[in-house]
Amino acid sequence: MTDYSKLFYWVSVADNATTFFGWFAAIFTLLSIIAIICFFVGLADETSLSDTLKSGESMTERQRFIKRSTGWVRWGVFFMIMFWGLLIFTPNKKQSLLIIAGGQTLNYLTRDSVATQIPHEVMNFVISELKTMAADAKVDLGLKTEKEKLIESLKGLSGEEVLIKLKDNPDLLKLYLEK
């Protein structure tokens, strides 16, 4: 058997074990519930089991019933907790394949020199696309920068009027000369 066939064999075994643990968790949960109900029904009797055992009297049938149901409760709850724990911590086939595939993918991405460039290239692509989308959005929404607004306001003026306006306001001159 190759490594992969062993791997998939144990994945299917784990999947079957999960089914097994699920069935027994359900059985012992049901058993525990019934045993607890029987225990509380038996406690409805007013005579105390511990008082009877201390005085040396023989136990009544009801007291024996309480003692037996106590044992069923203890063992039922113990096995119920054990099988629920096994069910929770044993991955099924789908979870196992996700663990294997995710681990192998991350191993590949961290060890391969070409794959390590992928996040950098993806970020460059995303940034360039965001810049393009932002420029398109400005055109679509009619948003202009301060410089574009200034140039738009100076278009209708003559050359002398533009010089006078820029001479009177040095901030406009700085804004017009910026790239």
Tens of pLDDT along 32-81? 999 998 888 877 764 555 555 555 556 677 777 778 888 899 999 999 99
Q: What is the pLDDT of residues 82-99, one digit of tens each?
A: 999 999 999 888 888 888
- pLDDT number for residue 116: 72
- pLDDT number for residue 84: 95
Distance CA 160, CA 178 (A): 21
- Amino acid at residue number 106: L
Within 8 A by CB and 6+ apart from 81, the residues are none
How many residues comprise the chain? 179
Q: Where are the domains of the chain?
A: 1-111
- pLDDT number for residue 1: 43
Helix (H, G, I), strand (E, B) or coil at 91: coil
* Band of residue 29 on the pLDDT scale cut at 50, 70, 90: very high
Q: How many CB atoms lie within 10 A of CB 39?
A: 18
What predicted TM-score, i.e. pTM, was given to this entire model? 0.51
